[in-house]
């Protein structure tokens, strides 16, 4: 903190204004662009097209894929990486994607046991049988 105060005290008035303007010139457009993308993602979600922010992220990744593929082949041609290494990376990527989809679509069926309910002067016991979807109730008048 003391170093920052020393640097600020040594700056002249014009240099300080230039630094502040440079900081504003970089931060305001980034902030405005981020807010616009968040608004756009919310609009996509509200219109029912899908999860807006995820779709924008996905579009950014897909837009960068052609450049990534060209860089991969260029690095293979120049000898910086091997075709076998690229093939192993591709297979691992597809495997991870398949595992993510498998886990995302998985279901775990949990047996549910209902407690007793009381309606007015009668007591109802509900039973759920674990191996069937059938629910049976017994009415007891008290």
- pLDDT at residue 20, rounded to an integer: 82
- pLDDT at residue 59, rounded to an integer: 92
Tokens of 35: 């807010």
In this prediction the pTM is 0.51
- pLDDT at residue 60, rounded to an integer: 92
Q: How many CB atoms lie within 10 A of CB 74?
A: 11
Domain boundaries, the chain: 2-81, 111-142
String of DSSP letters for 47-113: TTSS-HHHHHHHHHHHHHHHHHHHHHHHHHHHTSS-HHHHHHHHHHHHHHHHHHHHHHH--------
Give the separation between CA 91 and CA 89, rounded to whole angstroms. Answer: 6
The secondary element (H helix, E strand) that includes residue 40 is helix 13-46
- pLDDT at residue 142, rounded to an integer: 44
- pLDDT at residue 128, rounded to an integer: 54
53 and 38 in contact (C-beta within 8 Å)? yes
- pLDDT at residue 10, rounded to an integer: 67
Residue by residue, pLDDT tens for the chain (142 residues) are 567 676 666 666 667 778 888 888 999 999 999 999 999 999 999 988 888 899 999 999 999 999 998 998 898 888 888 889 889 998 999 999 999 999 988 877 777 776 666 555 565 555 555 555 554 545 444 4
Give the separation between CA 91 and CA 111, rounded to whole angstroms. Answer: 38
Give the separation between CA 117 and CA 131, rounded to whole angstroms. Answer: 23
């Amino acid at each position: 903190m003391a170093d920052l105060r020393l640097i600020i005290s040594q700056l002249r008035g014009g240099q300080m204004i230039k630094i502040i303007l440079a900081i504003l010139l970089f931060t305001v457009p980034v902030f405005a662009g981020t807010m616009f993308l968040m608004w756009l993602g919310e609009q996509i979600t509200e219109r029912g097209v899908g999860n807006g922010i995820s779709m924008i992220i996905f579009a950014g990744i897909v837009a960068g894929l052609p450049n990534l593929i060209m860089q991969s082949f260029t690095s293979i041609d120049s000898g910086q990486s091997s075709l076998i290494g690229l093939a192993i990376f591709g297979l691992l990527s597809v495997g991870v994607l398949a595992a993510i989809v498998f886990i995302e679509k998985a279901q775990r069926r949990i047996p549910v046991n209902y407690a007793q309910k009381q309606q007015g002067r009668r007591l109802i016991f509900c039973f759920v049988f674990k191996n069937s979807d059938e629910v049976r109730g017994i009415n007891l008048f008290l």
